[in-house]
Amino acid sequence: MLIWGLCVIYRTLGRGVFFCRRCGGDREYRHRAGRRYVTVFFIPLIPLMKTGEHVQCLTCKIRYVTEVLKLPTTVQMQLAHVAGMRAVVAIMLRAGDPASPIARRRALEAVTGTGDKSYDEDALETDLAEPADTARPKISALGAQLQIEAREWCLAEAIRIAMADGPLTGAERAAAEHLAGALGMTQAQAIGVIALTEQNTVLSPGGNDPPGAPKSRKGFAPP
């Protein structure tokens, strides 16, 4: 008759929400640590070595190494995307004409396109009033979760905001290069995206306005 054996007993260190690769979305998890025990009549009596820690998805029950908790959740990624784009448009508008209605409208569209449908003129004014040095960490966090193609698209979107009311100025070009660096792009990549966006952006008399509608240009007032 077997009266002794071995078993692993786990204790929960914490709970939360993480991105489960198996489920393909945000799921609840438990963070556990285990230890082997010698059992007598199935009762754990003598503790042995620890078996390490793991994170277990409470939906699919798959176990992961604890480094998985460093990955952002879908919600965190969405919040970082919105915050990063808000910082991008604020930097670009400040480099040009923050009062330009056409550039502001393009900036609002860029942010609402990330999913923040409540973003409006008041929120834009709040972002423009923020100190410029608070923007870089938000933009860097955005760039860290984007593939290179998405970083290029983000920079191109900022350039299109600047060009909504005329060609790039020296200050706007410098701001675009600054944004590229914060997004994690090289100088060569930045120059390429700027040149290609300038080439592909067609400045109609009213931008997105109906043909014949009056439009201001940098340094000029509408008639």
pLDDT of the chain along its 223 residues, tens only?
567 777 777 889 999 999 998 998 999 999 999 888 787 777 777 777 778 899 999 999 999 999 999 888 988 888 999 999 999 999 999 999 999 999 999 999 999 999 899 999 999 999 999 988 899 999 999 999 888 999 999 999 999 999 998 999 999 999 999 999 999 999 999 999 999 999 887 544 444 443 333 333 444 333 3
pTM of the model as a whole: 0.70
Assigned CATH class of 74-200: mainly alpha
Q: Are 148 and 156 in contact (CB under 8 A)?
A: no
The pLDDT score that the predictor gives to residue 47 is 75
Secondary structure string (H, E, C) spanning the chain: CCCEEEEEEEEEEEEEEEEECCCCEEEEEEEEEEEEEEEECCEEEEEEEEEEEEEEECCCCCEECHHHHHCCCHHHHHHHHHHHHHHHHHHHHHHCCCCCHHHHHHHHHHHHCCCCCCCCHHHHHHHHHCCHHHHHHHHHHHHHCCCHHHHHHHHHHHHHHHHHHCCCCHHHHHHHHHHHHHHCCCHHHHHHHHHHHHHHCCCCCCCCCCCCCCCCECCECCC
The pLDDT score that the predictor gives to residue 1 is 56
The pLDDT score that the predictor gives to residue 65 is 93
3-41, pLDDT tens digit by residue? 777 777 788 999 999 999 899 899 999 999 988 878 777
Question: How is the chain split into domains, by residue range?
Answer: 4-70, 74-200
Task: Output the CA–CA distances (angstroms, integers) from residue 103 to 33, 53, 111, 156, 191, in the order listed.
Answer: 54, 51, 13, 14, 22
